[in-house]
């Protein structure tokens, strides 16, 4: 009887162990958050005129430290120079209410071995990370369209709620290079180079993701 119980316990252990060590290559999910803006219509407090953003993301998990993400967001940016005590040469006040479609491709570096797995691998269910990459934005403001390249850079934190479910918070600044994302440029009449424009925008976003795409396991080695 004892031998039978031992065999049953062994079989249950072998059946459960692969599931505990299972890893996945991909994540997909959605995100929701707040936008901030710095430009001709707001050159002071980044969050003086906050608005909203939402979108979806897809992430390729290279390993416990590195991941690569694509995101597509819809966002609104608002600003009003009247509240910033900014005096332009023409004496006018300017405001913007831009609608954006933001596409980004970024690399993420986790400061800890993020994930759930064997204790000897020292996985952590929570990890801060930094993110940087390239992107593209299409903006509509008062009927005028503007497209531009962007450079997103920021920080975040991930939390593994369950084996295949993750939560996250990320704050990124996005440098755009058209200087017309708010519909205005050179209101002081000072010309500047392509790289020295005044328009930045930010995303502070919460996300939830689901993992899929099992990694291949051969001879107890996870590729």
For residue 72, give the nearest of 52, 100, 98 by alpha carbon.
100
| Residue 202 is assigned to a structural domain of this protein | yes
Which residue, chain included where needed, has tokens 């405001």? 95
The residue segments making up the domain with residue 166 are: 24-222
Which residue, chain included where needed, has tokens 């006018």? 92
The stretch 85-101 carries a mean pLDDT of 74
Which residue, chain included where needed, has tokens 């299972």? 22
24-28, 87-91, 140-144: segment of lowest average pLDDT? 87-91
Measured distance CA(12)–CA(123) in Å, rounded:
24
**Number of neighbouring beta carbons within 10 Å of residue 2:** 6
Q: Residue 197 has what pLDDT?
A: 62
| Residue 18 is assigned to a structural domain of this protein | no
- Count the residues in the chain: 223
Q: Residue 132 has what pLDDT?
A: 98
| Counted domains in the chain | 1
Measured distance CA(209)–CA(83) in Å, rounded:
39
Q: Average per-residue pLDDT in the chain?
A: 83
Q: Residue 195: which pLDDT band, with cuts at 50, 70 and 90?
A: low
For residue 212, give the nearest of 177, 163, 161, 169 by alpha carbon.
163
Q: Residue 117: which pLDDT band, with cuts at 50, 70 and 90?
A: confident
| Residue 73 is assigned to a structural domain of this protein | yes
| Residue 11 is assigned to a structural domain of this protein | no
CB of 129 closer than 8 Å to CB of 105: no
Q: What is the largest CA-CA distance in the chain?
A: 94
| Residue 210 is assigned to a structural domain of this protein | yes
CB of 199 closer than 8 Å to CB of 183: no
| Residue 149 is assigned to a structural domain of this protein | yes
For residue 155, give the nearest of 143, 141, 169 by alpha carbon.
169
The stretch 93-115 carries a mean pLDDT of 92
| Residue 150 is assigned to a structural domain of this protein | yes
Q: What CATH number is attached to the domain comprising 160?
A: 2.40.160.20
| Residue 17 is assigned to a structural domain of this protein | no
Measured distance CA(132)–CA(130) in Å, rounded:
7
DSSP 1: -
């Amino acid at each position: 009887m004892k031998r039978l119980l031992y065999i049953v316990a062994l079989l249950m252990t072998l059946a459960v162990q692969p599931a505990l060590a299972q890893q996945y290559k991909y994540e997909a999910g959605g995100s929701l958050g707040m936008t901030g803006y710095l430009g001709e219509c707001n050159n002071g407090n980044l969050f003086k005129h906050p608005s909203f953003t939402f979108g979806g993301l897809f992430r390729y998990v290279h390993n416990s430290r590195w991941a690569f993400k694509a995101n597509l967001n819809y966002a609104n940016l608002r600003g009003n120079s009247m509240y910033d005590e900014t005096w332009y040469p023409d004496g006018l006040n300017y405001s913007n209410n831009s609608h954006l479609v933001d596409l980004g491709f970024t690399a993420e570096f986790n400061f800890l071995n993020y994930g759930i797995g064997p204790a000897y691998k020292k996985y952590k269910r929570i990890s801060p990370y930094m993110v940087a990459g390239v992107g593209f934005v299409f903006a509509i403001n008062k009927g005028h369209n503007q497209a531009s390249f962007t450079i997103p850079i920021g920080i975040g934190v991930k939390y593994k709620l369950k084996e295949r479910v993750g939560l996250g918070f990320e704050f990124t600044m996005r440098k755009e290079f058209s200087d017309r994302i708010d519909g205005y440029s050179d209101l002081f009449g000072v010309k500047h180079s392509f790289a020295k424009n005044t328009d930045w925008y930010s995303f502070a976003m919460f996300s939830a993701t689901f993992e899929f795409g099992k990694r291949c396991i051969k001879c107890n080695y996870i590729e």
